[in-house]
Structure 1
């Protein structure tokens, strides 16, 4: 099967959508499929162009049997925290990628075109090109970015929202298949008008062999000047507005004197990193690490006694944190900011503690409770590992997705 993947993010980006898109494409290539990718030059989550790439031009490379076509995009000089910079960046890629997308379809003649959002701005081009060449189309939604943009105030206005949602709904109904990553997000997809017969739940995943429970006495503790007596509360991933990361800073300030053995470690980058560093500067119980490569991920996750999953209430069930599956696989408990009944709260049931996103005191109390009870941490960690193996195993999820791709591609060939 020949597969063309189209999306904004791809390896060597270490977090989020780029990580999952590249793992998917490399896995499919390893299964013997021909896989090509049209994507942007790598920049996420720091919004700084990765070393070795030239954002003034198109570039091609081969990464683990996958041909990758890189397209330029606008990168603001200052990491964008509002709407203007992000929209301009996403729009610039949507425009610059169209020639490469068309060239790839002409040359490869793919059996299926798989578009990955965000950014939803690429969806119209993906749909138009697939129709032009008679290629079956699949749209995979990692988060509902339009809903999130309005909920977070990055986009405003009732008329604009109605217009945007109307266009989104019309586009969703035109794809041969539309997938997303959780049951609640599937419900939203149907509410937006995507026909149930054309929708597929396609979870993110974790390699449960590569990420597994390990000794907490890691080199990271030594690097950070921490001993066995310290209880590490770890946040690892993108540091951006939708995470509500400032709540963790408030919890660190509250626990600094009450539970001094708890140390908050932030590992990542993103639009809110400088702000986070600034507001935690007076605190002695906060440490920072740069983003870590895949080969050190198991060790990083093992460093934690408690994992932290912040999330703003406004984006509940509009996305599911990509860090969740590795956290569960590491066999450590989590404290998640999620209301009861939301997808995130449901996913960590028995494997952590969910607290209301707006309740700073409840967040601090949950961290304190786990810090003071090693038996509880162990029991919840064991349940986390069991959930990862039951629900999030990479081979199971990707085998099922491959079968769905073959089914859709086969129908396209019959229609021809």
Structure 2
């Protein structure tokens, strides 16, 4: 499909990206769906509504709408819209989403919190189904060498890894501040990724004396399995916000699938997974004192016990988040909404 690609901070360019996607899908994509029994649609971006509405109302094809991002919440949190126009834009987007929800035959949500929020916005409970996302499992199946030797890490070093966006939402200054106060000489923290807070976090690490924190920059995707294997425990954090309670970072599934323990500095659905899986040390929303306590608990457990937590997490992943489980849920939902004559034949 033809697309104007932009992922920078310009609201105009981002709108062009979303709009060109919808126009291209309408012009070159919807005809290929004619005659389908049911269609699975991801709602990000929400301009996908244009081809969705066409196939729903023109061809009478039932739609399973998978809510991958919450709109207008994600736009409001991104800061793309200035305060003067925010309320008007949120109103338009909220109405747009409401029409999408009404048009869909079934709506899938990726975390329990999102399901609760959708119900509060008027989506009938019997229209909702829980279908969480899964990890890129090809990166977690193969046995890989870790990066300890390459990074000069000793066998007795307990390593905490953060890999992802270095942005405002993650509240990573709490991690840096906490690491500066850890007095265990064998503790090391690796921070991999890039983002708007990168330079600020590096300065902060110098200012507070966090000599046990090492910034790796962006790590190529094909080296992520080795980085995952390097960490004894992986860090997941979200700064307190209205969205944090129902945000589920994709790294959660990746960490669980890789069989690694988690230190979770967040509330809501992420903290619930940390507790239910048995793989996590939940410390509440990101703040230095809580993170420091979580690191202390991790170092007290030691590397061998953290591996046990990771194995529990891998088992939980296969029961709850695996691609096999997720695809089965998608297929079941599609079968339930398929045109009656199709559902009758398949049954």
TM range (shorter): 0.7 to 0.9
**How do 1:67-78 and structure 2 match up within 5 A?**
69-76=1-8
Stretch moving more, 145-154 or 90-99? 145-154
Distance 1:224 1:412 in 2: 60
Which of 62, 83, 87 aligns to 1:136? It is 62
Is 1:99 aligned to 2:23, yes or no? yes
Residues 178, 200 of structure 1: 8 Å contact kept: yes
Residues 269, 291 of structure 1: 8 Å contact kept: no
Distance 1:305 1:377 in 2: 6
Q: TM-score, normalised by structure 2?
A: 0.82
Residues 3, 20 of structure 2: 8 Å contact kept: yes
**How do 1:14-413 and structure 2 match up within 5 A?**
69-76=1-8, 80=9, 85=10, 87-102=11-26, 103-109=28-34, 111=36, 112-128=38-54, 130-150=56-76, 155=81, 156=83, 157-158=86-87, 160-206=89-135, 211=140, 218-255=145-182, 258-280=183-205, 283-285=210-212, 286-294=214-222, 296-314=223-241, 315-339=243-267, 342-349=268-275, 350-374=278-302, 376-411=305-340
Distance 2:46 2:199 in 1: 28
1:130 to 1:249, Cα distance in 2 relative to 1, 3 A: farther
1:404 to 1:357, Cα distance in 2 relative to 1, 3 A: same
Instruction: Give, in angstroms, the shift of residue 308 of structure 1.
Output: 0.2
Residues 206, 388 of structure 1: 8 Å contact kept: no
1:390 to 1:268, Cα distance in 2 relative to 1, 3 A: same
Stretch moving more, 270-279 or 206-215? 206-215
Distance 1:90 1:329 in 2: 32
Instruction: Give, in angstroms, the shift of residue 154 of structure 1.
Output: 5.3
Instruction: Give, in angstroms, the shift of residue 399 of structure 1.
Output: 2.3
Residues 263, 287 of structure 1: 8 Å contact kept: no
Instruction: Give, in angstroms, the shift of residue 305 of structure 1.
Output: 0.8
- Deviation per CA, 1:137-180: give whole Å up to 9, x if none: 33212232422443576554556545543443233222222211
The answer for unaligned runs of 5 or more in structure 1 is: 1-68
Distance 2:282 2:100 in 1: 35
1:368 to 1:72, Cα distance in 2 relative to 1, 3 A: same
Residues 44, 69 of structure 2: 8 Å contact kept: yes
Distance 1:242 1:302 in 2: 26
- Deviation per CA, 1:172-198: give whole Å up to 9, x if none: 222222211112211112212222232
Q: TM-score, normalised by structure 1?
A: 0.70
Structure ranking higher in helix proportion = 2
- Deviation per CA, 1:184-230: give whole Å up to 9, x if none: 21111221222223222111124668626968xx4422222222122
Distance 1:123 1:72 in 2: 18
The number of residue pairs the alignment matches comes to 331
- Deviation per CA, 1:352-383: give whole Å up to 9, x if none: 21112243111012112202321542442232
Residues 232, 306 of structure 2: 8 Å contact kept: yes
1:145 to 1:107, Cα distance in 2 relative to 1, 3 A: closer
1:104 to 1:276, Cα distance in 2 relative to 1, 3 A: same
Distance 1:388 1:312 in 2: 25
Cα RMSD, aligned residues only: 3.0
